[in-house]
Amino acid sequence: MNQQESIDFAKKYLEDLLAFFEVNVNIDVNVSEDVIELSVPSTERNSVLIGRGAETLRSIQYIISTILRNKGAAIVRVNVDIAGYKRQKAEKLSNEARGWIEQVRQTGDSYVVSLNPADRRIVHKVASEYDDIQTFSEGEGRDRKIIIAQKSS
């Protein structure tokens, strides 16, 4: 399955899945850094599709990604956003990360926080905007944490 077939499959699969929930909408598709980004507009079913703690949203994303992987697709990473939920969450986390970075700058002490992989990527990206700050992850599985620290001179 080439890149375009991967994109088309992911979009069609999500459309079919949403139809099960009686949601028929146009899904926006973008590809960024080998990630298929599927954006679902707001509907009356947002809360059902996102789920408590975004568990349903992550599950939808996982299903599509797993099927693509099993089909040998050219692109297997998928990001599904429903009603801008993930975008808003990423903006909030970015602002929190800037606060953590300022705290590290003022105190000189490292800041350690447990985050899921997607959230760690956001913090790494924000930290890359600062020349005097470095981030790295430690631990395994659910115990993995991100550490924000000053760069050594």
CATH 3.30.1370.50 domain position(s) in the chain: 88-150
Question: Which among 72, 138, 86 has a CA at the least distance from the CA of 111?
Answer: 138
> What averages of pLDDT result for each successive group of 10 residues across the chain (153 residues)?
91 93 91 91 91 91 94 90 92 95 93 89 93 92 91 68
Architecture of the domain defined by 3-83? 2-Layer Sandwich (3.30)
Instruction: Give the whole-angstrom CA distance, residue 33 versus residue 5.
Output: 17
Tokens describing residue 121: 């990527």
Task: Give the dihedral sign, CA 68/69/72/76.
Answer: positive
Dihedral class, residue 88 (left if φ above 0, else alpha if ψ from -120 to 50, else beta): alpha
106 in helix, strand or coil?
helix
Backbone angles phi, psi at 136, to 5 degrees: -155, 160
What's the chain's length in residues? 153
The listed CATH number (3.30.1370.50, 3.20.20.100, 3.50.50.60, 3.40.640.10) that belongs to domain 88-150: 3.30.1370.50
Q: Return the sign of the alpha-carbon dihedral for residues 147, 36, 80, 64.
A: negative
Asked if 40 and 18 count as a contact pair (C-beta separation under 8 A), the reply is yes
